[in-house]
Amino acid sequence: MPPAIIHLVASRSKTGKTTILENLVPELKQRGLKIAVLKGNLKHYDLDLPGKDSWRFAEAGADVAGFTTPGKYLLIGTSLGKSGNEAAAEFLQGLDLVIIEGNKKTKNPKIEVVRSDLNPEPLLLPNTVAVISDSSNLNLEVPVIDINDPAALADFICNRFLSPTVKNSSAEEASHFGDSYGDQESGGGFTHFDQSGRPRMVDVSGKEQTSREAYARGEITMAPDTLTRVLEGSMAKGDVLGVAQVAAVMAVKETGRLIPMAHPLGISGVEVDFEPVKEDPARIEVGVRVKLTGQTGVEMEALTGVSAAALTIYDMCKAVDKNMTIRNIRLIEKKGGRSGHYRREQE
């Protein structure tokens, strides 16, 4: 599995990106992670100059050139058809995380550095997932992390970019340091696993109640005649979309009973929309938006609502069309919580 790649960027130089990384790396290493830290998108550098041995090795066709000392090494390489970032990440298989300082044009996730005295207005480039700042007055849709709190930044990176498998494996190594890092929900332990590696429901009691929202979509394809009968209301079982709407609302409220580790929630609002499409294949697109003021998100509730609505449509139409297909159920958008605002780029 390739390592996660994150870029630390800023709108200008001298914002302290290198110092931030110097403070961050020990925090990540305490969590047992294997990390590479690279300078990104450099146009010139003092190593590998024309005429030097490493340059001559590379010119001769070596895939990787470089040099070693008794305790360290430096490798330089290229890969046809790939950027330096892509080639480096491919070469660094086996690591948990690659952090690259710089390169604002990358499509990889970015964490932006904002300083009140140097660059007070954040760029918020595409794929910016968080901002690090010394200002407490930023009101953004992405999380804002205190520039002087490397532990909080390490927690965010672990929660956002590392899979439970990596986090659990890293935790075992971190235990040798007498430290561990928090999970996505509670800030302590690991998401859905206890210290013995057994499943558990995450304790969110210490989290602040905030406004949260999620919107999910899916679709059910069918024969054009089936869609026509649905829209005309001529199905033998009755109003297909009316019943499917009720099913979605009921499923949202029952998600905590259906999904083993989901929390029972006091849902504050559910909206269901249907978009019939009379194309080939004919289909009904289902959308469910769920709102809550609470301590955990409602993504699972929205996805469960979409699933139940689509299944209900199938159930009410299966007598005339058993070839219907439910597909493409996905989260479109979420708001609120520590991970901030998420929006799927391609719906």
Helix (H, G, I), strand (E, B) or coil at 339: coil
- Residues with a catalytic annotation lie at 315
Helix (H, G, I), strand (E, B) or coil at 231: helix
How far is C-alpha 208 from the geometric centre of its chain's CA atoms?
21
When computed from its CA atoms, the radius of gyration of the chain, rounded to whole angstroms, is: 25
Sheet holding 110-114, edge to edge: 35-39, 97-101, 4-9, 110-114, 128-133, 144-146
Helix (H, G, I), strand (E, B) or coil at 93: coil
Q: Between vectors from CA 169 to CA 101 and to CA 258, what angle results, nearest 5°?
A: 105
User: What DSSP letter does each residue of 54-77 carry, written as one string?
Assistant: HHHHHHTT-SEEEEE-SS-EEEEE
Q: Please count the residues of the chain.
A: 347
Angle between helices 150-161 and 17-30 (to 10 degrees): 70
Q: Which amino acid is at 150?
A: P
- Residue 287 near residue 273 (C-beta atoms within 8 A): yes
Give CA–CA dist 90/81, Å, rounded: 13
Helix (H, G, I), strand (E, B) or coil at 248: helix
Q: Which two tokens stand for residue 25?
A: 């790396």
Beta bridge partner(s), residue 97: 4, 35
Residue 121: partners with Cβ closer than 8 Å, 6 or more residues away: 11, 114
